[in-house]
Chain A
């Protein structure tokens, strides 16, 4: 399927998704929601990659997305393991309670 949708639109969507992911990271207190916002940011970036790859007719963008996804998966695995471990010690997933670095 091809389309006459200008690249600009995709880019705007990508930017919106990215900013919203950033906002989520900053606003939410639940560690899991924060993690999900990070995935949202990654998605936005992936969208931009693919849009540019299509635009310049190179495959490199898609390959990059491939790798990003792989790494995102690995990251999620480890990150959730971390959250589980933290929950075990603090019995909460509220990041505001993890403030022992306070100086």
Chain B
């Protein structure tokens, strides 16, 4: 095939970022910041170009999947797991999203990290950031391009590692740059929660291998139906185990707790990993395994329920948060819930559509939030008392706290407008991108699963509400802290990617407009079971204006507008004054407290699970390692034995035997010399006798010879 040349480029998507990170590792300390950033962004950008080429190649060749083997990885007996790339429409979609948004975030990070390392006083760490970012891109590429569940898992673990490395980037401090365990604890939490999810994934992989005999996508999917017919429980078990992995990686109930804490990492990290790409890995997993999920509708329903509940649950928590990034974090969890609910309902195209546009506007929102934080920091640094140079040691100023902000649209206009666009897209207002994707999901839910529809609709209401709250609190009204008064707009290197993402957020809906269904047709080549339950629908739900159902669309738009109006009533009409508390507290009372404290989930987990392990670790460290091993075994037993042994060697053996031997030799010498001395008696006759004796002996020898 004349396009096979294009597909052989696919290993570059992994090796280009690796090349970038190696360059930055080796030369990082010698290059200036701009060079480091350019190298990393170029690597990521080239991956995007390669992905475009691969997409073009697929388009030109009819969209059939291409398998590009690279090397033999595991060969044990009958088991053969090669490192093989799978280029099909689903994986190319993911590649494009990850590398595209990733490149924009790399460029943004050049400017962001330049200021961040100066706020935290460690400019040497600049290169390390980009090394990790490139590593992440490489790992994510392995995840989405692998042709077997094991390759996917390699990338899965890799992005988990990068998440740990990047969340704990400022590992010795907390978000306010005070020395603390906070950041490293957050990184550990992310890693451990992901690990629990990985455990589920591994169980799924083991079960799959046991019954299918292979982990390659092609082979598994081919024999799925046969296995389902012969052993029905197996597929259910595999899919439910996979669901555990999904809850870990994509932050669903019950393993979502790491994502809010992960906001401790620098903002580009939050944008890239925890909004646009890594967290979508779980969704990708389910989408990839569509043929397995379609065989077990019960498991699908469970998945959908988990997603829907998570969406509503975290949306309620977002309403009570003060930190600008925490709101966005819970919003991410909520939107992931939408996506997981979508795949649970079999609406794979809707889910992927929402994944792509969510990447756009959530990255936009996070990056803009980063810009806002930087602006607050700049403003804080320009305050008069700060000019004396005491640093942040006395006052604890949190630049991300929305209670300190206000009226920023005057100081940071570009940031304000892009944030608005992102918020509107997230809220699902026509004609921004979010409207189309969310609407598709809601439509599928309304047609088939009423409970899920209700949950998702409530979540959508809350989404619009908390975004509106955020906008009023941050950009309108009067500044509640002097730093907000002095805030400055961010440089171009930061605002240009924001504007690009804003454009994508506006136009992204064009990816899959209801009539055209570009994405749907594109993905059809990879995902063959697109949900079409049209036959059973009745009533108003069956209306279709070229695919768009006006009733559902109208309801969701109304819901969003009401939510925004409510938020204006509470936060916009009379903006919050300095030190004034959130009016929602008076309205909801104790319920607000629950939201604010995130249902005390972390505390419950700590008390029930985590502290058991902490106790065990403490026990092992203190009692087993220190008391038993060190004190008793080493000191008492081994050390004493050695001392005894030394004394034993010294006294009886060294003195008794060796000295005795040397002394004895000397004694023998002395005594024999005493004896021999008597030969010299001075008498000539005896000397003559000895001469004669010698002569006799010699003659005797000669005789006897």
B-binding residues in A (CB < 8 A): 22, 25-26, 29, 95-96, 98-103
Contact = CB atoms under 8 A, between A and B. Distances in A.
Contacts of B608: none
A26 B683 contact: no
Interface in B344-380: none
A95 B684 contact: yes
Contacts of A103: 677, 680, 682
A96 B683 contact: yes
B692 interface: yes
B702 interface: no
A25 B688 CA distance: 8
Contact of B688 (A26, A96, A99): A26
Given A22-B692, A26-B692, A96 B685 contact: yes
B681 A99 contact: yes
A26 B682 contact: no
Interface string B669-705: 0000000010011111100110010000000000000
A99 B692 contact: no
Contact of B682 (A22, A25, A29, A99): A99
Nearest to B689: A26
A19 to B, nearest CB: 10
B685 A102 contact: no
A3 to B, nearest CB: 29
Interface string B269-307: 000000000000000000000000000000000000000
A103 B676 CA distance: 10
Contacts of B685: 25-26, 29, 95-96
Given A26-B685, A102-B682, 11 more contacts: A25-B685, A25-B688, A26-B688, A26-B689, A26-B692, A98-B682, A99-B681, A99-B682, A99-B684, A100-B682, A102-B680
Given A22-B692, A25-B688, A26-B688, A95 B682 contact: no
B369 to A, nearest CB: 110
Nearest to A101: B682
A103 B688 CA distance: 17
Contacts of A102: 680-683
B673 to A, nearest CB: 11
A72 B677 CA distance: 35
A98 B688 CA distance: 14
B413 to A, nearest CB: 121
Contacts of B677: 103
26 contacts: A22-B692, A25-B685, A25-B688, A26-B685, A26-B688, A26-B689, A26-B692, A29-B685, A95-B683, A95-B684, A95-B685, A96-B683, A96-B685, A98-B682, A98-B684, A99-B681, A99-B682, A99-B683, A99-B684, A101-B680, A101-B682, A102-B681, A102-B682, A102-B683, A103-B677, A103-B680
A96 B688 CA distance: 12
The 3 residue pairs across chains A and B that have the minimum distance between CB atoms: A102-B682, A99-B682, A103-B680
Nearest to B678: A103
Contacts of B682: 98-103
B698 to A, nearest CB: 14
> Which residue among B677, B685, B688 has the maximum number of chain A CB atoms within 10 Å of its CB?
B685
Contacts of B689: 26
A42 to B, nearest CB: 16
B690 to A, nearest CB: 10
A41 to B, nearest CB: 11
Contacts of A96: 683, 685
A95 B684 CA distance: 7
Contacts of A22: 692
B336 to A, nearest CB: 110
A68 to B, nearest CB: 18
> Which residue among B677, B681, B684, B689 has the maximum number of chain A CB atoms within 10 Å of its CB?
B684
A103 B678 CA distance: 8
Interface in B645-683: 677, 680-683
A99 B684 CA distance: 7
Nearest to A103: B680
Nearest to A95: B684
A15 to B, nearest CB: 12
Contacts of A101: 680, 682
Nearest to B681: A102
B55 to A, nearest CB: 113
B691 to A, nearest CB: 9
A89 to B, nearest CB: 16
A97 B685 CA distance: 11
Nearest to B686: A26
